[in-house]
Amino acid sequence: MSNLPVPDYDLVIVGGGISGAVIAKTVIEQAAKKKKFPRILILEAGRATALSADKYDTYVEAYHKALVKVPNSPYPASRSAPQPDVLDIRPLDNTDADPGGQGYFVQKGPMPFGSDYTRSLGGTTLHWLGTCLRMLPNDFKMRTTYNKGVDWPIDYEALKPYYERAEWDILGVAANVEHQHYPGLTGSPEEFFKSNNTTKFHEGSYHFPMAEIPSSWLDQYMAHTVDGMTISLPGKAKPEHTFKIKISNTPVARNSTPAAGYNVVGAVGNADQGQRCQGNSSCIPICPVQAKYNALKTLYELIVKYPDQLKAGEQPGTRARVTIQSQSVATNVVHTKATSTDKGKVTGLTYKKYYDDGAPPQGTPPTEYTVTARTYVLAANAIENATLLLASKAANTSDQVGRNLMDHPLLLTWGLLPENVGAYRGPGSTSGIPAFRDGAFRKDRTAFRVEIGNWGWNFPEDTPYTTVLDLVGGNEDGKAQLHGRELRKRLGEILPRQFRIAWELEQDPEGRNRVTVEDRYKDALGKHRPVIDYDLSDYMKASLPWAAEASRQLFEKLGMKNKVPHLPCEPEKPGRKKARSYETGDYTHYACDDASKVKYGGETYAVRGAGHVVGTHRMGADPTTSVVDSYQRSHDLPNLFIVGCGSMPTLGTSNPTLTMTALALRTGDEIAAKELSA
């Protein structure tokens, strides 16, 4: 500590998101069994706005007032802790300009990285959808099974007990085991979920803590129309691959009817609120009642149960203590280098404190500090972890830090159904089609997951806004094309029939897809901005025509065979021309100025980011090819844990938060077992 006496902590965690919160909670609970009481500091780069219910409500109001309702719209931007913006994704080809002039990410291309994250207390769980699918057994052994990517140092069976704890003790997952129809399993869903915990689950018969979230009317309509159909796709080695379609309810961290013995966790500071999902239809960007899990819930529990302030008469070391310090941006992992006899270790963590709204409070010491601890955890998001390590020149003997950046590039397809299916009601998605998540085809192309969207064309076309603007028209002659009862009636005919699917493609790890730092690109606080090189592999691109063809067959079955023509290079400006006729059919199209165009096999596609930022400090058994071990412990600096989605060597087709949470629980156990006993 250079400039003021900061107390020594057992654990310093960088990042007040889900991984950091889960590790803090787990370490405290496991250590307590051995009568150990750690003192923990959590450093959060963003604001701590929402640790009370009334302040959380200001996020909701900000979302309602936001002109552009992107995932980060409720959460205030800061120059000191800037966050990526999905609106800042511009075409990269043809730009001579310095990419550093744009946004927060310095996008070097050739593809822009299309996902964001949130730098506020609670992290990106503030605006996640809540999907909690486990990874499939083959997802952990891609090299062995399909000769692609890499194997994980652990397998599904090893992670299973942590999945169970994540579902029960942290996230609160709503699902029915018998409705989980995944491909590539030898047995039934019941066998896939079979638990070793026979104390909690009679004969290992697993169930989730809450019953599934009811499937939307749209899901039921889909199931009625397409369940049992076969989709045939052209193969390489095999002439044809067939997939039997079954609509499957998706597990989510969203409050539903609890099983016996499970206590539903409501809103932070207002436990009566959010006991059930109420159908606000805005999981992204914000659940107004917190019926969906966010990391604030775990953080709130920590500061209530384990406040750092000791009460009168309490002795230090008799209970665990947690401090959350917001507006504190980690800038350097201070460490010693390895010698011939010893590994290096982290000796301190430097951070800067900032005050966006003016000068620091009177008497506040200088704004840069170095804090010391027994053990350090970086839990700041995959991209933030990588930039911090690279800027600190730490933990990178393998040269893998920042590499293997992955996402689930989304191919969106959308259409107008022949019937009113009640779009714009319910959670963003309640079901999917898991048929394409695994199979022999993964030797040739990546797997994908199919998410059925409940919010019409909101994602691809920013409806219902653009539908209104299109029907009202008048941009050229100033005369409304439709108004009054006609307009109202037409909207009622069109909006509830809007339908869209996201084909979430698994991305494979590639060393060239990477985050780096350059001294010329820094933010207002002087911290390095992420410089990103990003592209899609041919292996991944090969699943684009498959997803498009599967979509075509599915749309045909749903009565949307008619491909509604769209001018190939028409910029998206509603009202420019005569309104669309809105006949039933397939409306999928890509604007010519789309920044995320992909050309493959003579066709052009456009992909979107899924917000699944994965793979920048991958785990592995071999220190020369991986950054952390299976406990997310740095190979180079053993008192440093680098945690989160960045540790995942491959991505599979599951949204990564559940797996990240399982890994964090495992890390928490490890820290409690090994680090505190010294």
Partner 1 sequence: MGNDTPTHPDPKGIFTDISVELTGFDRAELGGTGMVDTYYDTLLRMIGEREAGQLFRYAQEALDADRKEQRKDNAAFKKAVIDNPRFGPVALGLIKLWYLGRWYPLSAAYRDRFGSTADDVEHVVSGQGYREGLVWAAAGAHPMGAKPPGFGSWAEPPSPTP
Contacts to partner 1 by CB under 8 A: 60-61, 63-67, 69, 214-217, 220, 256, 276-282, 286, 288-289, 420-427, 430, 454-456, 458, 464-465, 467-469, 472, 474-475, 477-480, 483-489, 491-493, 495-496
Shortest separation between residue 183's beta carbon and partner 1, angstroms: 26
Shortest separation between residue 556's beta carbon and partner 1, angstroms: 24
Shortest separation between residue 356's beta carbon and partner 1, angstroms: 23
Closer residue to partner 1, CB minimum distance, 426 or 611: 426
Shortest separation between residue 454's beta carbon and partner 1, angstroms: 7
Closer residue to partner 1, CB minimum distance, 496 or 644: 496
Closer residue to partner 1, CB minimum distance, 342 or 477: 477
Which helix or strand (DSSP H or E) is residue 616 part of?
none
DSSP letters along 379-412, please?
-S-HHHHHHHHHHHT-S-TTS-TT-S-B--PEEE
Is residue 585 helix, strand or coil? strand
Shortest separation between residue 222's beta carbon and partner 1, angstroms: 13
Which helix or strand (DSSP H or E) is residue 508 part of?
none
For residues 106 and 91, the answer to whether their CB atoms sit within 8 Å is no
- DSSP assigned state of 270: B
Considering only CA atoms, which of 503, 430, 59, 406 is closest in space to residue 223? 430
DSSP letters along 280-329, please?
-S-TTT--TT--B--HHHHHHHHHHHSBSSPPTTPPTTSS-EEEEE-SEE
Q: For helices 465-472 and 484-494, give the axis angle rounded to 10 degrees.
A: 140
Please, how many CA atoms are within 13 Å of residue 347, restricted to the half-sphere of its CB? 9
Shortest separation between residue 471's beta carbon and partner 1, angstroms: 9
425-to-288, 388, 496 alpha-carbon distances in Å: 15, 41, 9
Shortest separation between residue 608's beta carbon and partner 1, angstroms: 19
DSSP letters along 32-94, please?
HTTT---EEEEE-SS--TTSSHHHHHHHHHHHHH-SS--TTTTS---SSS----GGG----TT
Considering only CA atoms, which of 141, 160, 196, 111 is closest in space to residue 537? 111
Q: Is residue 39 exposed (0-12), middle (13-18) or buried (19+ Cβ within 10 Å)?
A: buried
Shortest separation between residue 611's beta carbon and partner 1, angstroms: 18
- Sheet containing strand 328-335, edge to edge, reads 328-335, 346-353, 368-371
DSSP letters along 451-476, please?
EEESSTTHHHH-TTHHHHHHHH--TT
Q: For residue 397, how far is the Cα from the chain centroid?
A: 28
Shortest separation between residue 417's beta carbon and partner 1, angstroms: 12
Closer residue to partner 1, CB minimum distance, 6 or 487: 487
For residues 275 and 257, the answer to whether their CB atoms sit within 8 Å is no
Shortest separation between residue 210's beta carbon and partner 1, angstroms: 12
Closer residue to partner 1, CB minimum distance, 197 or 278: 278
Closer residue to partner 1, CB minimum distance, 96 or 477: 477
Shortest separation between residue 278's beta carbon and partner 1, angstroms: 4
> Token digits for 131?
């999907």
Considering only CA atoms, which of 428, 419, 412 is closest in space to residue 216? 428
Closer residue to partner 1, CB minimum distance, 84 or 426: 426
Shortest separation between residue 452's beta carbon and partner 1, angstroms: 12
Shortest separation between residue 281's beta carbon and partner 1, angstroms: 5
DSSP letters along 659-674, please?
HHHHHHHHHHHHIIII
- DSSP assigned state of 200: T
Residues 262, 26: Cα–Cα separation, whole Å: 19
CA pseudo-torsion sign 25, 31, 35, 40: negative
Length of the chain: 678
Closer residue to partner 1, CB minimum distance, 163 or 457: 457
Residues 192, 132: Cα–Cα separation, whole Å: 15
Closer residue to partner 1, CB minimum distance, 349 or 416: 416
Closer residue to partner 1, CB minimum distance, 498 or 654: 498
Shortest separation between residue 289's beta carbon and partner 1, angstroms: 7
Closer residue to partner 1, CB minimum distance, 59 or 631: 59
Shortest separation between residue 480's beta carbon and partner 1, angstroms: 5
For residues 383 and 113, the answer to whether their CB atoms sit within 8 Å is no
Residues 627, 93: Cα–Cα separation, whole Å: 32
